[in-house]
Structure 1
């Protein structure tokens, strides 16, 4: 049955982080054409990210958010804590959606030294309902939600209303999760509408912080988000190497390891 087969593929991708068409064929005893159709169907449902010759996990440690926006274990928590340390006390922060930005919200919720500054509490502007949920009950955090149309799976708010709302604010720092960081294509993500809001958050910010684990290095999602020269800081858990390291240095991106 196809539903059982699709579920099995999701388990394979979740366990290994990536699966090839050949591996699907071997494990499920299907033809390459069937395997490719199954991977395409899962990608359309945003359960995996389609890659050349296979598929990978939709969230390579800190990119786009699955339902509930769960961070990837202790690695995701470390990335979140490192990013939180970059938030000035009492500042205005833009938080995009995604697994690690939800983790950043959780870290901000308990980081009283960051949240409360001389001018009062922290203001968080977000296009992600799960991010807003994590911070809404904090008395010293003022949460501004952009508005717009809700993406059911990612809980992101998109569309002209979301972009227009972001354009009205000035942010001290914007923190964005991404699906890929590539030397040529810059930072990338999975959804064009979500990317548009992410670009608006970056344009509104004095400082742009991108959070992406080592699994995102050299990876490209289907939609461009920001070129490297529009990123101020990359927070990651593995030192970039080769062409990516060279491109980051040439673009003036500060790399901080969690």
Structure 2
């Protein structure tokens, strides 16, 4: 287990139980007491838990993990999803990507895709994004043209949000908008935890010919705070496992194509 994976697992444990002791974490994660104390101090310094004598407590319910901790979750599933999404992209396409760990994997996959490298040196794919980390990673890829929206960055996700996102997309047309989400369900559609990020994702979808939601199985059947789109506005769902019957019926009724990514 990497340090990032261990910290993410520790955050999950605190969130699930509300309060943990050092001994609880030792048993659950199989690490030493010294490591647990050091990790709890690290998380407390970042404002993610409250340190107590002999342990820690959660700082309220439904907190949002910073992007670096989310990256450790469902890592292999996100790689498989990214591979499947890349199959939907053709040379010359303009692709919108919102922020998140799954769309970051999509960006990396597009950046490595030799099929998108034209012989004449022209851009093989144009990526329009409101995610600063995605723009940074793809800036070294010669076959990728990067367009970054305006907006104000959120530290948790590195996403630009606010009315400048909307304004900067008014004269843009995308072939695909690939959206990472925090939840997808028949009742609530595609959702996320932050209303500003929801609006930015809607803005990308509004100028796209097709909307693709990329979501691992842990997101399916969930509804989170801010709605991005109803299912009827989604064209394709790419996930890593077959969905439950209730969600499958909702997707079928909304005419959403479901692609289950092969296991890596």
- TM-score between both structures, scaled by the size of structure 2: 0.76
Matched, 1:101 2:103: yes
CA contact (8 A) 1:84 1:107 kept: yes
- How far does residue 142 in structure 1 lie from its aligned partner after superposition? 0.7
The answer for the alignment partner of 1:70 in structure 2 is: 71
How far the C-alpha of 1:25 sits from its partner, in A, is: 4.4
Name 1:159's counterpart in structure 2.
Answer: 162
Corresponding residue of 2:58: 38
Q: Do the aligned residues in 2 keep the contact of 1:101 with 1:177 (CA within 8 Å)?
A: yes
Q: 1:120 & 1:174 partners in 2: Cα distance? A: 18
Equivalent position SS for 1:167: coil
Three-state SS of the structure 1 residue aligned to 2:58 is helix
- Report the Cα offset of residue 220 of structure 1: 1.1
1-structure distance, mates of 2:234, 2:62: 31
The structure number with the bigger radius of gyration is 2
Partner in structure 1 of residue 242 of structure 2: 239
Residue 208 of structure 1 and its aligned partner are, at CA, apart by 0.5
Query: Please, which runs of 5 or more residues in structure 2 have no aligned partner?
Result: 1-5, 24-51
Partner of 2:18: 24
C-alpha contact 1:132 1:143 (8 A) present in aligned 2 = yes
Secondary structure of the residue that 1:219 maps to in structure 2? Answer: coil
Q: Name the structure 2 match of 1:133.
A: 136
Q: 2:198 aligns with which of 195, 200, 208?
A: 195
SS state of the match for residue 169, structure 1?
coil
Name the CA distance, whole Å, in 2 between partners of 1:111 and 1:10.
30
SS at match of 1:40: coil
Aligned 8 A contact 1:66 1:99 in 2 = yes
1:149 match: 152
Measure the CA separation in 1 of the matches of 2:251 and 2:110.
27
**Separation in structure 1 between the aligned mates of residue 159 and residue 118 of structure 2, nearest angstrom:** 27
Q: In 2, Cα distance between the equivalents of 1:158 and 1:192?
A: 9
Deviating more after overlay: 94-103 vs 112-121: 112-121
In the alignment, does 2:109 pair up with 1:89? no
Any conservation in 1 of the 2:175–2:209 contact (CA below 8 Å)? Answer: yes
1:214 to 201, 214, 217: 217
Unaligned runs of at least 5 residues, structure 1: 1-7, 48-64
